[in-house]
Amino acid sequence: MTSPGFGRRPLLAAAALPALVCPARAQGAWPTQPVRIVIPFGPGSGTDVTLRLLAPKMTDFLGQPLVIENRPGAGSTIGTDMVAKAPPDGSVFVHATLSSTGIAAALYRRLPYDPLRDLAPIAATVFVPLVLAVTARGWDVGTAEQLIATLRASPDRYQFGSNGIGATGHLASANFVTRIGARALHVPYRSGAETITALVAGQIQFMHDITGLLLPHHQSGAARCLFVTSEQRSPVMPDVPTMKEAGVPEYPAYSWFGLFGPAGTPRPIQDRMAAAVQHALTDATIAERLAALGTPAMPGYGPDRFAAYVRAETALWGPLVRASGAEAD
Q: Assess if residue 9 is contained within a domain.
A: no
Q: What is the CATH number of the domain that holds 207?
A: 3.40.190.10
Residues 176, 314, single domain; the answer is: no
Specify the pLDDT at position 329: 63
Provide the β-strand partners of residue 126: 257, 297
pLDDT at 28: 53
Indicate whether 56 and 120 sit together in one domain: yes
Identify whether the C-beta of residue 324 lies closer than 8 Å to the C-beta of residue 178: yes
Looking at residue 13, what is its pLDDT?
Answer: 33
**Any idea what the CATH number is for the domain that residue 84 is in?**
3.40.190.150
Q: What is the mean pLDDT of the chain?
A: 89
pLDDT for 168: 84
C-beta of residue 181 within 8 angstroms of C-beta of residue 152? yes
- Say if CB 161 and CB 172 are below 8 A apart: no
Confirm whether 240 is domain-assigned. Answer: no
Shared-domain flag, residues 135 and 208:
yes
pLDDT of residue 312: 95
pLDDT in tens, 5-53: 433 433 333 333 333 434 444 445 899 999 999 999 888 888 999 999 9
Give alpha helix (H) positions in 184-302.
Answer: 192-201, 211-220, 267-281, 284-292
The number of distinct structural domains making up the chain is 2
- 4 inside domain: no
Residues 185 and 137 in one domain: yes
Per the domain annotation, does 13 fall within a domain? no
- Which residue type, as a one-letter code, is found at position 141? V
Same domain, yes or no: 124 and 147:
no
Residues 89 and 162 in one domain: no
Q: Domain span at residue 106?
A: 33-128+255-324
Residue 24 lies in a domain: no
Report if residue 241 sits inside a domain: no
Between the CA of residue 155 and those of 106, 150, 181, 247, what are the distances in Å? 27, 9, 10, 21
CA atoms within a 13 Å half-sphere pointing along the CA-CB vector of 280: 29
Phi, psi dihedral angles at 233 (to 5 degrees): -65, 150
pLDDT value of residue 167: 80
- pTM for this model (two decimals): 0.79
pLDDT digits (tens, 9 = 90+) for 143-169: 999 999 999 999 999 999 998 777 888
- pLDDT tens across 199-210, in order? 999 999 999 998
